[in-house]
């Protein structure tokens, strides 16, 4: 049987869907499944909300279509099926001296998912977004026909596919440019930032290839916005990296696990982990780039109710004021978990709906509750008023008004999508919720 009734959810586990899901292992099986019915592609379901959900419809899970098709060891150009994960690529090619140029914070994300959300990594300020390193894509329409799209061939369709949330068709495979790496290790320097203005300045002045900040979202007063800055460079050390053993969260954690006093205590200790004068450590690429991947199913730490992630990006001219107001609201509410990130972003973006802009991005997790829902909706509103945008890969609570002016190329994207998928075969719950394809 090609299609099977399946319950599935986003990574935050608040939004779920029941759909007929096909899991093809070969491209012929994908074509055969599409001959019966069509629906959006699903990757590894690492988007937090409903980006990959299609409740009551069909969906095609791509994770079994994960073969490497070709690799040029001279140029580092890799062609792979869309279900190959970032970790698959890193593990296979780092020993040969190559790694994905852009990597999100989880190696479980697939090539197709990284293109469809035009993901960014810890080097966004220098390297740009994932889609900017894609050379071409084999894109399948709902009728099963495949087109090659690239920056020079079907270029509008290519641009609408990068960050296009799967709405232009199913990405079967793609050619991407890998970057050189000379070992499996990375040198990481950690420094404390005692408050938000200092933290933002440190991020802006950092010249490191990779940089990311952990922010204490419970800190108040003169500590507001304090955190730790990590700056990292690839090394040519020939030491063998010590990989941490994977662990699994075997059950849903009870709600007190993330109570405000526990989070406050944890954050204080985590901040002091780095001495005042800073420190340097050598880490494996996996530990630095995917710090949470070693704890399988870590999303169960939030208990049965699940959680929301809020992620916004704010332009330079409004960022400090908006972040100050947001962090005051967040610390007063006492609802955030310890997982909170502040990062500098550059201008690089590959598609009409790509998330990044020059400025700062803040990402925080909140266990699901009525109060957390209200807080995230308020943060979405503040993002809009500050001229920023929220990230579709993380969102589960935004409303159509929240994104109205945030994506100025939305109308161009809609025209291309309407032509590529006239019957709306690839529409998802997120696209319907935010009325992304029109009828606003």
| Residues of the shown chain interacting with ligand FAD in the complex, contacts defined by CB under 6 A | 11, 40-47, 51-52, 62, 82, 104-106, 109-110, 112-114, 116-117, 119-121, 165-166, 170-171, 292, 393, 428
Under 8 Å between Cβ of 50 and 426:
no
Q: How far is the CB of 54 from ligand FAD (least distance, A)?
A: 8
Nearer residue to ligand FAD within complex by CB, 177 or 325? 177
Pairing of strands 41-42, 58-61: parallel
Residue 12 structure tokens:
């935050």
Q: Using alpha carbons, list the distances in angstroms from residue 63 to 60, 85, 171.
A: 9, 8, 12
Q: Which residues of 345-372 are buried (b: 16+ CB within 10 A; e: fewer)?
A: bbebbbbbbbbbbebbbbbbbbbbeeeb
Place of tokens 């894509």: 137
Of 62 and 178, nearer to ligand FAD (C-beta) is 62
Please report how close the Cβ of residue 414 comes to ligand FAD at its closest, in angstroms.
Answer: 16
- State the minimum distance, in angstroms, from the CB of residue 437 to ligand FAD: 13
Nearer to ligand FAD, 224 or 303 (CB): 303
- Whole-angstrom Cα distance, residue 99 to residue 87? 10
- Tell me whether residue 74 or residue 423 sits nearer to ligand FAD (CB atom): 423
Structure tokens at 282: 């050598």
CB neighbourhood size of 238 (10 A): 9
Output the smallest distance, CB 337 to ligand FAD, in A: 12
Residues 6+ apart with CB under 8 A from 25: 64, 65
Cα 105 to chain centroid distance, Å, stands at 7
Residue 48 Cβ vs ligand FAD, minimum distance, rounded to whole Å: 7
Q: Which residues pair with 209 in a beta bridge?
A: none
Smallest gap, in angstroms, from Cβ of residue 390 to ligand FAD?
13
Closest approach, Cβ 117 to ligand FAD, in A, equals 4
Query: Sign of the CA dihedral 70, 71, 76, 82?
Result: positive
């Amino acid at each position: 049987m090609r299609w099977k009734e399946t319950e599935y959810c986003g990574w935050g586990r608040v939004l779920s869907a029941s759909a007929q899901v096909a899991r093809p292992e070969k491209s012929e099986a994908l074509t055969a499944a599409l001959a019966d019915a069509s629906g959006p592609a699903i990757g590894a379901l690492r988007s937090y909300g409903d980006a990959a959900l299609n409740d009551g419809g069909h969906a095609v899970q791509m994770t079994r279509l994960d073969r490497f098709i070709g690799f040029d060891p001279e140029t580092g150009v890799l062609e792979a099926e869309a279900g190959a994960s970032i970790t698959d690529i890193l593990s296979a090619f780092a020993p040969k001296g190559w790694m994905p140029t852009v990597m999100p914070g989880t190696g479980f994300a697939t090539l197709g998912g990284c293109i469809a959300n035009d993901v960014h990594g810890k080097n966004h300020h220098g390297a740009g977004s994932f889609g900017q390193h894609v050379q071409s894509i084999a894109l399948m329409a709902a009728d099963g026909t495949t087109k090659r799209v690239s920056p020079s061939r079907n270029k509008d369709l290519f641009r609408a596919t990068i960050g296009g949330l799967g709405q232009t068709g199913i990405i079967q495979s793609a050619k991407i440019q890998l970057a050189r790496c000379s070992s499996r290790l990375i040198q990481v320097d950690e420094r404390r930032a005692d408050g938000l203005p200092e933290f933002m300045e440190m991020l802006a002045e950092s010249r490191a290839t990779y940089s990311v900040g952990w922010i204490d979202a419970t800190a108040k007063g003169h500590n507001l916005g304090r955190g730790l800055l990590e700056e990292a460079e690839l090394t040519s050390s020939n030491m063998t990296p010590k990989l941490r053993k994977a662990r699994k969260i075997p059950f849903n954690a009870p709600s007190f696990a993330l109570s405000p006093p526990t989070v406050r205590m944890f954050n204080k200790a985590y901040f002091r982990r780095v001495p005042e004068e800073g420190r340097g450590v050598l880490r494996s690429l996996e530990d630095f780039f995917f710090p949470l991947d070693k704890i399988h199913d870590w999303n169960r730490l939030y208990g049965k109710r699940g959680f929301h992630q809020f992620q916004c990006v704010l332009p330079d001219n409004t960022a400090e004021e908006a972040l100050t107001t947001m962090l005051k609201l967040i610390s007063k509410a006492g609802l955030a978990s310890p997982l909170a990130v502040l990062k500098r972003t550059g201008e690089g973006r590959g598609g009409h709906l790509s998330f990044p802009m020059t400025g700062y991005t803040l990402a925080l997790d909140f266990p699901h509750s009525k109060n957390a829902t209200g807080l995230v909706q308020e943060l979405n509103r503040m993002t809009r008023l500050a001229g920023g945008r929220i990230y579709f890969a993380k969102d589960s609570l935004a409303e159509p008004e929240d994104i109205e002016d945030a994506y100025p190329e939305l109308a161009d994207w809609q025209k291309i999508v309407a032509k590529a998928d006239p019957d709306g075969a690839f529409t998802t719950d997120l696209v319907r919720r935010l009325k992304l394809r029109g009828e606003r």
